[in-house]
Every structure is written in structure tokens, then in C-alpha cells.
A and B are shown apart, each in its own frame.
Chain A
Amino acid sequence: MTAPRPVYPHRHLLGIEGLSPHDIEALLALSEEQVEVSRQVEKKKATLRGRTQINLFFEPSTRTQSSFELAGKRLGADVMNMSVASSSVKKGETLIDTAMTLNAMRPDIIIVRHHAAGAVHLLARKVDCSVVNAGDGAHEHPTQALLDALTIRRNKGRIAGLLVAICGDILHSRVARSNIILLQALGARVRLIGPRTLLPPEAERLGVEVFTDMRQGLKGADIIIMLRLQRERMNGSFVPSVKEYFRYWGLDQEKLALAQPDALVMHPGPMNRGVEISSEVADGAQSLIREQVEMGVAVRMAVLEALASHLPNR
């Protein structure tokens, strides 16, 4: 006598864009189950036994790739990691040729990260298997948004009505874009905070409030999501210096005090301590940063399982 399992109706997970609130809820509900599995001594399931999962990473990534690898292995899949350094991309092969080559090996699921926005969608059109977007350029990173939502919901009990401030380098952030869509779909209010040089043009059109003054923007926030500032953007091209950036847009205890007293702090990692976030805050009582990592594996297991239910069985 169990309730019917939630259904995710798509073959791929290419972005949060295009998912209905129901689809998102379904993936979050499945993720909750996987959290329990991951906390057991026996973490192995057989849902993906006999299936082949390829992690195709055109951009180096430690945490996302290992999270997907662990998720696939816990579900019993055979997982193969292909990173750009060892691939034929270095030898001049085009993205589509790579996709066709991999397709011929008959994988069941390909996890793709690529530095160009839209590259994962292009690849998905050329292969027969399911494709999961593990980050395409500054476009989307759907599993990160899902794990952020799961973390928020488990700590706050809800998402609707929360005020979420996303701070830092919004312009180059796929995490921000996926989060904006997901959080708004589930009824949260979203604010973007950053220097104008790191905000996408016409950001207000995304339905968010935009602040360049972090102190103003943090007022009343329930959740603060800090984004990573890439090193090459710190020295004058987008912001003049680390010192100035941290002074005005870095999250420290003093600025955190402007948010709700029970505000929680998140960061997709890897963090630049002393650039966008102080160690005191990152390691403090209001930080959910480590919990996000745990939720990452659960969400990816849920996504893989949801997609597996659509894979042909013959």
C-alpha cells in the first residue's frame, strides 16, 4: 500500500526551463528517497544494472563528475568517465562527431558538461540515449538547482514564499540561471545581487529584483546563494580587485546580519574563501554548504532513476 511513485515524463534533463512545477516536485520527491538510500550501510540499488552511463566532461570538474559517478554506481550502472584531456576532442574532432562516436557504443545515459551554452542540447539531438546536462556554458546546470531546492526545502520546510538572494557573478553563472527558473516556478521570490558588470543585461526581465548594493539586497533574505568569482575576472576586467570585491560583495558576518536572523547560506562550490565568502560564514552555523554536497548525490540518483524508467527495455 504505497502511494504511486511520482513520474518524470521526459527523456532528457537538459535544463530547468521547460519543466513544469509538477516535474520538479517529482524529481525532488524521488530525491528524498535517495537521501535515505545514501544514508544506509547498503547503498547499492539495482535500478540501472546492466546500463551504461558515460560522463562526458569537456570542462574539468571534480565535484559534479564524482557526484554523478557515485550516483550511477549506487544505482548499479557501469560508469565510464571521459574527460577532455583524454578525448579525441583535443585532436580536433567536432562535438557532433564525438556524440556520434559515443552513440555507436550504445550507452544508455550520457552526462555532459560543456563550456558552450547550448552544446548539450545540440548533442542530445544527435544521440539515441538519455542526456543529462551537467552544465552548459553560462546557460543551465539543472541538477545543481534541484539539489539547492532540495536542501532549502529540507531545512525550511517549503520553497514557496521564501526570499532567495543569489549573489555574485550572475553574468557567467549557469547555476544562477537554473536556480532563478526553478525557485520562481516553486513560488520563491528571487533577488540578484552583484556589481553591474556581473549582472546580465535586462536581468529584471527574468522576473527578479536586481540590486547592486548588497546591503540593500540582503534585507529580509531567507536564503543566500553565493556564487563563485572566477580568478580571471577579479583583476580589473569585471571588478577591480579581490579586496574591493570582498568589501562590497563578499558575504561576511556583518552583511549576513542584514538578512533574516534564521537566513541560511549556500554555495555551489568550489568556494573562494575571502573573495565571495568569509571562512567564518562558510563554516558557520547558518551554512548549508556541506549538506548541498550530500544532496547532490541524492538528486543525481533520482534523475538517473527517473530517466531510466523511460529507457527501452528490449
Chain B
Amino acid sequence: MTATVLSNARLIDPASGREAPGAILIQDGLVADVAWGAQAEPPEGATVLDCGGHILAPGLVDMRAFVGEPGAEHRETLKTASEAAAAGGVTTLVCMPDTNPVIDDPAIVDFVRRRARDTAIVNICPAAALTKGLHGREMTEFGLLAEAGAIAFTDGARSVTNAQVMRRALAYARDFGALIIHHVEDPNLVGDGVMNEGEFASRLGLHGIPREAETVMLERDLRLVRLAGGRYHAAMVSCADSVEIVRRAKQGGLPVTCGVSINNLTLNENDIGDYRTFLKLSPPLRHEDDRQAVIAGLADGTIDVIVSDHNPQDVETKRLPFAEAADGALGIETVLAAGLRLVHGGQITLSRLLLALSTRPAEILGLAAGRLAPGAPADLIVFDPDEPYVLDKKDLRSRSKNSPFDEARLQGRVLLTMVGGRIVHDRSGA
């Protein structure tokens, strides 16, 4: 395989916090050399790509994307999800097991991996179900599923309400060093709730979801981790109390991590406006105070990871009265541009944003990606953080169109995406 040089770039390596002009040499799908500060002479016969002074960073690692394959290919396939990911700068995505059939059997893990290998243009790592059928009762075959290639164990959009099941799953997962990712939302406290509980829900006449639906489950989980051990990651926190709970746990030395949805970082409950169902989410969009608290949690490292929580829904599941519409929004294609809002607003640094979008998720998942260093996979992105545009959902690669940012003004565009040294998205000429 010939060498490629990405030259004339502003390199940002969130893993080391380093940021400087430079170039990267790619060979055999790996980063062969990182030339900081210098414009090294490209080796003989290398293809040189001029990055035009734009930012060159590790490709994004999205720990939470729902894909319709198998079972709901009309919403999204592994192929379309990967195309959307590539356009958004995501080079590795973890797909959730909420499929039909559920990814709770080694043969289905194998199927998803083969389909991804044959059809997808980015790395797709299936997460397997934590409990059989996502029913929250009996744990799955962590050992055999991990051998088949499951990267983590989660019940996707569902929470395990039975604490005994969760305790045993944590204990059993330890034997295999398996990562458990948990959606922290008590379904009984959610009840009939469809949006954040509070004044705005009362005005709209919608049932609310209290923050305690999240904090009760999160507190329970952290106590169970203390009891049983295990690698635990809270999929998404959405409110100020949750950030404080995780902060205290980490200060106490508990080895847990957590994520936040890009939606809870960049939108609040007021965005629901006139019953916009594309903003019906789980966890729900919260109060502006909560949004500010999760941004602060991201800035100080309490929150490790930003996820797109990509969840394609079609007209049949979204063009309904708000309370009857399905949860979920597209996200994988806009996660970087949306995140850049926080950078442009001066609330977090670009390096911190990229840390939460690439380095930390890669570390938690045990992947070699997420850094600019020799030997790392050449999963790279070139982007212009400033390019302004108005999002038109027609331009989205995803098979579904339920973007919460439709017609929104965004700033920041991915120009080039490379996976394993192969260019999978290129609008540098456009």
C-alpha cells in the first residue's frame, strides 16, 4: 500500500492536548509518523493531500447509535448509518442491540459484523444486549458474545430495573472484563411522562419526566458498582443533579464513566416549542440550568463522553401527537457541528470537545483510535470549524430525516474523513 501524507494541517491531538501545525504520514492503514511543527519532506511516491490549513484530528468515536439493521432497514441500514457517520466525521460507531432480532446471541453479533464489513464505510462495533431479549431479567452470554466481537453490553434504550439482575450482571461481567453501558432512566418514574417535568410541560399540558427518574437509577447503579465491581458506564446524564452524583463518585475513587447526548448539551426543553416531535428524546431535553450544568460537567471532565444518540425514526413514528411519537433524533451527521456551538460560545475548548468525542470513548471501549500517534489507526478527519451553513435535511445521508437541527444555523463542516487510511468522505474539493 502506498504512503499518504496529509500536509499543511493544524494538528490537534486531544489525547496529549497538543495542537500545532504539521503533517501526518499514513502507511498500511496506520499513522506512521506525526510531524509536529515541521513540514517534513514526503517520502518518494507518497500521495500528498493538502489540508489547506484546516484542523486534522482523530476521527470521532460515537458510543451510541441506533441502526435499523437487522429488522428496521427502512429507517437506517449499517450502510446508510456509516455514510452519515463518515459525513459527520465519525470513524467508529457503536451500534445498539435494540434491533429485531435483538443482538443477544453470538450469531447475530457475527451477522452485524459481517454486514458492516461488507457494506459500511466506517468501523462499526456492535454492543450486545445486557439481558436476553432486552427484557431485564436474564443476563446474556457475555463471554461468548465478547468472543464473537461484542464491544460492550447494554440494554440500549432500556434500563434494567431489577437491582439483583444488575448486581449479578456487573459481577459476572467482571470475570470477562466486559464493559456495561447502562441507560439510566427508571421507567416507573418516567411513567406517562414525555418531556422534562416542570413549568414548560405544565404549560404544554404534557406529562413530565422528573429528573429523579435519572438520578435514582444512577445512584442505585453506583452503589451496585461499589458492591459488585465491574466496568460501568452511564450512557447519558441529562441534569445537574446527575453531574453532581458522578462528580462525587469519581472524587470518591469509583472507577465509573459517563456520557452525555449532544442534544442535552446543545438544546433545552424550550426547543420543543410547538410540540416538535423530533425533540422528543430519552432522556428528555431539560431546563437551561441543567444544560449549563452538563456543559460544566463536560468542561471539568466529570462527563467523559459525548454521544450522538443517533436514533433514526420515520414519518410513521414521528408525525404523530407529541405524546404518541417515538423517542429519538438523528445525530451522527451533526454531532461535531453541534458540539462546535459550545466551542464558538467559549464554553469549552476545541481540544476538550474532541477529547470527549474521540479519545475518551476510544479509551473506555479499549480501542487504539482517538489519538494522533504512530501506530494508531489512520482514522482521521479534516474539518473547518468555522464554515457556516443552514442545515437542510435533504442533504442528510441518513435514511431517516428526523434531525433536531433541521433549518438550524450551524458552523463547522467535515471536509475529509479517513478510515484505516482510506478516504470515505471528501468535500475538500466542493
Give the total of B residues in contact with A, Cβ under 8 Å: 16
Among the listed A196, A212, A237, A247, which residue makes an inter-chain contact with B138, where contact means beta carbons less than 8 Å apart? A237
Among the listed A197, A243, A247, which residue makes an inter-chain contact with B171, where contact means beta carbons less than 8 Å apart? A197
- Tell me whether B171 and A244 are in contact (CB under 8 A): no
Given A236-B131, A236-B137, A240-B138: A197 in contact with B143 (beta carbons within 8 A): no
A240 to B178, CA, bound (A): 14
Given A237-B168, A238-B168: A196 in contact with B174 (beta carbons within 8 A): yes
Interface mask (B294-332 → A, CB under 8 Å = 1, otherwise 0): 000000000000000000000000000000000000000
- Tell me whether A244 and B144 are in contact (CB under 8 A): yes
Interface mask (A228-252 → B, CB under 8 Å = 1, otherwise 0): 0000000111111101100110000
- Tell me whether A212 and B175 are in contact (CB under 8 A): yes
Q: Most chain-B CB neighbours within 10 Å: which of A197, A241, A247, A248? A: A197
- Is the C-beta of B141 less than 8 angstroms from some C-beta in chain A? yes
Shortest distance between the CB of B179 and any CB in chain A (Å): 16
A74 to B206, CA, bound (A): 79
Contacting residues, chain A, for B143 (C-beta < 8 A): 244, 247-248
A248 to B141, CA, bound (A): 11
- Is the C-beta of B277 less than 8 angstroms from some C-beta in chain A? no
Among the listed B138, B172, B228, which residue makes an inter-chain contact with A195, where contact means beta carbons less than 8 Å apart? B172
- Tell me whether B138 and A213 are in contact (CB under 8 A): no
Shortest distance between the CB of B334 and any CB in chain A (Å): 38
A22 to B250, CA, bound (A): 52
Chain A residue nearest to B164 in the complex (CB): A237
Contacting residues, chain A, for B139 (C-beta < 8 A): 236, 240
- Tell me whether A244 and B141 are in contact (CB under 8 A): yes
Shortest distance between the CB of B154 and any CB in chain A (Å): 15
B residues 156-198 with Cβ under 8 Å of A? Answer: 168, 171-172, 174-175
Contacting residues, chain B, for A212 (C-beta < 8 A): 174-175
Contacting residues, chain B, for A241 (C-beta < 8 A): 141
- Tell me whether B144 and A243 are in contact (CB under 8 A): yes
Shortest distance between the CB of A249 and any CB in chain B (Å): 9
Shortest distance between the CB of A136 and any CB in chain B (Å): 24
A55 to B381, CA, bound (A): 76
Interface mask (B122-146 → A, CB under 8 Å = 1, otherwise 0): 0000000001100001111111100
Shortest distance between the CB of A180 and any CB in chain B (Å): 21
Shortest distance between the CB of B176 and any CB in chain A (Å): 9
Give the total of A residues in contact with B, Cβ under 8 Å: 16
A28 to B249, CA, bound (A): 54
Shortest distance between the CB of A235 and any CB in chain B (Å): 6
Chain A residue nearest to B138 in the complex (CB): A236
Shortest distance between the CB of B106 and any CB in chain A (Å): 9
A212 to B140, CA, bound (A): 18
Q: Most chain-B CB neighbours within 10 Å: which of A196, A238, A247? A: A196
Given A236-B132, A248-B143: A197 in contact with B172 (beta carbons within 8 A): yes
Chain B residue nearest to A244 in the complex (CB): B141
Shortest distance between the CB of A18 and any CB in chain B (Å): 31
Contacting residues, chain B, for A197 (C-beta < 8 A): 168, 171-172
Given A236-B132, A244-B143, A247-B144: A196 in contact with B137 (beta carbons within 8 A): no
Shortest distance between the CB of A298 and any CB in chain B (Å): 39
A243 to B142, CA, bound (A): 12
- Tell me whether A240 and B171 are in contact (CB under 8 A): no
Chain A residue nearest to B171 in the complex (CB): A196
A239 to B175, CA, bound (A): 11
Contacting residues, chain A, for B141 (C-beta < 8 A): 240-241, 243-244
A247 to B148, CA, bound (A): 14
Chain A residue nearest to B172 in the complex (CB): A197
- Tell me whether B172 and A196 are in contact (CB under 8 A): yes
Chain A residue nearest to B144 in the complex (CB): A244
Contacting residues, chain A, for B175 (C-beta < 8 A): 195-196, 212-213, 248
Contacting residues, chain B, for A247 (C-beta < 8 A): 143-144
B residues 62-109 with Cβ under 8 Å of A? Answer: none
Contacting residues, chain A, for B131 (C-beta < 8 A): 236
Contacting residues, chain A, for B138 (C-beta < 8 A): 235-237, 240
Shortest distance between the CB of A122 and any CB in chain B (Å): 28
Contacting residues, chain B, for A244 (C-beta < 8 A): 141-144
Shortest distance between the CB of A129 and any CB in chain B (Å): 41
Contacting residues, chain B, for A213 (C-beta < 8 A): 175
- Tell me whether A240 and B142 are in contact (CB under 8 A): yes
A238 to B137, CA, bound (A): 11
Contacting residues, chain A, for B228 (C-beta < 8 A): 196
A247 to B228, CA, bound (A): 23
A235 to B133, CA, bound (A): 13
Chain B residue nearest to A201 in the complex (CB): B227
Chain A residue nearest to B132 in the complex (CB): A236
15 contacts between A and B (CB under 8 A): A195-B175, A196-B175, A197-B171, A212-B174, A212-B175, A213-B175, A235-B138, A236-B137, A236-B138, A236-B139, A236-B140, A237-B138, A239-B172, A240-B141, A244-B141
Sort A-B residue pairs by CB-CB distance and give the 3 closest, nearest first.
A236-B138, A244-B141, A196-B171
Q: A212-B175, A236-B139, A244-B142 are in contact. List 17 more A-B contacts (CB 8 A).
A: A195-B175, A197-B168, A197-B171, A197-B172, A212-B174, A213-B175, A236-B131, A237-B168, A238-B172, A240-B132, A240-B140, A240-B141, A240-B142, A241-B141, A244-B141, A248-B143, A248-B175
